[in-house]
Amino acid sequence: MDNEPVKRVSPLKGRKLGPRKKPSPLKGRKLGPRKSKVVLPLGLFNVAQKAAREYIAIAGGGTQAPDSVDKLLAERGKSYGSFVSLAKTAQEFKSLLYRELGSRNKRLADDQAEALEMIIHKIARIINGNADIADHYLDIAGYAKLVGERLQGRSL
């Protein structure tokens, strides 16, 4: 018995497979534009609105765009500090966050992870730049509120 070769048998041998799945009725159909409504807390809305205005101003600037970008970056540097320093601080906080979550085998929902990362970004701005900008704190509260509302079953 020890010298007999082992026969390998396919688990599917002799089994009949069921009918193929029907193709999706949506396959090949063009879907209309998504009609999602995004509602932001006032602090976040103001930031998003301001960023959109600046983007439009830069994009519409044609050959003036590089000067506008330089001006915008210089202005942001005064409020937020050096981008390299801010990035280093934010990445260190994020590494700490995910290391600690991993050590506890915790997983976050996408909105929780994103909110925490944005809060970390705002904290890094406070640390590296002007700590007296109220929007930083309002944005932190806004991101926390978005997750809190979802967890309580009340989506904003």
3-state SS of the chain is CCCCCCCCCCCCCCCCCCCCCCCCCCCCCCCCCCCCCCCCCHHHHHHHHHHHHHHHHHHCCHHHHHHHHHHHHHHHHHHHCCHHHHHHHHHHHHHHHHHHHHHCCCCCCHHHHHHHHHHHHHHHHHHHCCCCCHHHHHHHHHHHHHHHHHHCCCCC
Q: Is residue 17 part of a domain?
A: no
Q: Closest by alpha carbon to 120, among 100, 140, 147, 150?
A: 140
Q: Is residue 36 part of a domain?
A: no
Q: Is residue 105 part of a domain?
A: yes
Q: Is residue 29 part of a domain?
A: no
Residue 65 near residue 59 (C-beta atoms within 8 A): yes
pLDDT over threshold 70, residue 155: yes
List, for residues 40-68, the tens digit of each pLDDT value: 555 555 666 666 666 666 555 544 466 78
In whole angstroms, give the CA distance from residue 47 to residue 140: 12
Q: Is residue 120 part of a domain?
A: yes
Q: What is the mean pLDDT of residues 90-119?
A: 95
List, for residues 129-146, the tens digit of each pLDDT value: 999 999 999 999 999 999
Q: Is residue 86 part of a domain?
A: yes
Q: Is residue 137 part of a domain?
A: yes
Length of the chain: 156
Q: Is residue 32 part of a domain?
A: no
pTM of the model: 0.57
Which residue segment(s) compose the domain that 137 sits in?
A: 81-151
The tally of domains found in the chain comes to 1
